[in-house]
Amino acid sequence: MTKETITRQTVKELDQQDSLQSFKSEFYTRDSHYYMDGNSLGLLSKRAEQTVLRSLQDWKEQAIDGWTEGREPWFYMSEKIGEMTAPLVGAKPHEVINTGSITTNLHQLIATFYQPEEKRTKILADALNFPSDIYALQSQIEQKGLRHEEQLIQVESKDGYTLDENDIIEQMDEQVAVLLLPSILYRSGQLLDMKRITEEAHKRGIIVGFDLAHSIGAIPHELHDWNVDFAVWCTYKYLNSGPGGVGGLYVHERHLGQKPGLAGWFSSKKEKQFDMEHTLTPAETASAYQIGTPHILSSAPLLGSLELFHEAGMDSIRQKSLKLTRLLMNLIHQELSDFGFQIVNPLEDERRGGHVSLVHPDAASICKALKSERVTPDYRSPNVIRLAPIALYTSFEDVYDTVMILKEIMSSGKHKDFKNERGIIA
């Protein structure tokens, strides 16, 4: 932690030096409101709004001809977005497609790559993963006529918040067929060493997949060069596609050309799709892992949103993100050390994702108090407050103000006016 006192002047100077400061004006933000929940739902950008309106206009003017004659033809939209997304995950354009939802895509890829035989019947995951991923893995194991209680291995955490890569590697053996891990742990913000994990798994003949929900749009990736077999992600967090925005997936090119585990009309090679044959000719790209008709109105925002990522550059976004979270942690240490907060995310830059996780026994009531004071945080049961300053639309002064508001809440005891229990949606 820094030993120099951080003042408002300090953060104003950081904002003056910020090469990404102009991007904030691209988003719809509220005056005197501090949005620290972009790792759950990103803000709407003006460009995303325009690309949705463009697709609506195509529907209005072209009707069904919008599939091929619109300004952004719907029939090719998923592939176009995949090509725009590929640089963010370090993939080749034909290795990425935007389709479905993150859980649907996980079902698709596990159905494709999990083929238990002889000794290799197990899936290796972790005990801290988001429940949806675990539900999907359990379901896919049961679809193969096996018991998930026997075939799903979950690496335990020593502290309840982070994972040790050595513990993961220790569980890799000849019985494991597929490994699925989050790139960044949603609860603590820990960034796993994806390259090392992939190398170690491949030495042991294990297929490797990652859930990039909390890393895509926050950190650079090199999935192709790391030889990751597959990955899935959502786009409504850091990529700002809007609530329920279309998901995305990546499959390394060495696996392309095979029949998907879950086939559907849009799995087809595009030139063959409207032949209406009852024998599938899969696309030779990641398009083969589509199932149903693309969700156009939840895809269209990405056409505008992704432009901003290309203009800003992922390296610049990552560097600002690290500075923001470092500032946030330093301010917590400086201003909140007397109030019982514990930072549980890794402190090292190379091990930290895009958010800061605070543990406090009154976390739920503190989050409610923050909302009443114009700060939007994120609560995770039972005692975690997540704060995510987003590089494209959070200033350094925003971070400063957030901590000062939190300090005032704790000093006055205002959080005690609220019940320390989560709402229906937390």
Tens-digit pLDDT string for the chain (426 aa):
557 899 999 999 999 999 999 999 999 999 999 999 999 999 999 999 999 999 999 999 999 999 999 999 999 999 999 999 999 999 999 999 999 999 999 999 999 999 999 999 999 999 999 999 999 999 999 999 999 999 999 999 999 999 999 999 999 999 999 999 999 999 999 999 999 999 999 999 999 999 999 999 999 999 999 999 999 999 999 999 999 999 999 999 999 998 999 999 999 998 998 988 999 999 999 999 999 999 999 999 999 999 999 999 999 999 999 999 999 999 999 999 999 999 999 999 999 999 999 999 999 999 999 999 999 999 999 999 999 999 999 999 999 999 999 999 999 999 999 999 888 776
Which residues on neighbouring strands pair with residue 250, listed in sequence order?
96, 231
Q: Is 214 annotated as a binding residue?
A: yes
Q: What is the largest CA-CA distance in the chain?
A: 70
Q: Is 418 annotated as a binding residue?
A: no
Bridge-based pairing of strands 378-380 and 122-126 is: unpaired
Q: Where are the domains of the chain?
A: 8-31+314-417, 49-310
Q: Is 104 annotated as a binding residue?
A: no
Q: Is 107 annotated as a binding residue?
A: no
Q: Find all residues with CB under 8 Å of 97, minimum gap 6, and list them.
A: 78, 79, 82, 248, 249, 285, 286, 287, 289, 290
The CATH number fitting domain 49-310, selected from 3.40.50.300, 3.40.50.720, 3.40.640.10, 3.40.50.1100: 3.40.640.10
Q: Is 73 annotated as a binding residue?
A: no
Q: What is the CA radius of gyration of the chain?
A: 22
Residue 167 host element (H or E): helix 165-170
Asked whether the whole model's pTM tops 0.75, one would answer yes
The C-alpha atoms of residue 292 and residue 308 are separated, in whole angstroms, by 28
Helices 314-335/296-312 angle, 10° precision: 80
Q: Is 265 annotated as a binding residue?
A: yes
Bridge-based pairing of strands 34-35 and 207-211 is: unpaired
Q: Is 226 annotated as a binding residue?
A: no
The CATH number fitting domain 8-31+314-417, selected from 3.40.50.1370, 3.40.109.10, 3.90.1150.10, 3.40.50.300: 3.90.1150.10
Torsion sign across C-alpha atoms 12, 17, 18, 24: positive
Domains 8-31+314-417 and 49-310 are alike in CATH topology: no
The C-alpha atoms of residue 404 and residue 151 are separated, in whole angstroms, by 48
Question: Which residue blocks in 18-157 are alpha helix, DSSP H?
Answer: 46-62, 66-69, 77-89, 102-113, 131-143, 148-151
Q: Contact, 234 vs 247, CB < 8 A?
A: yes
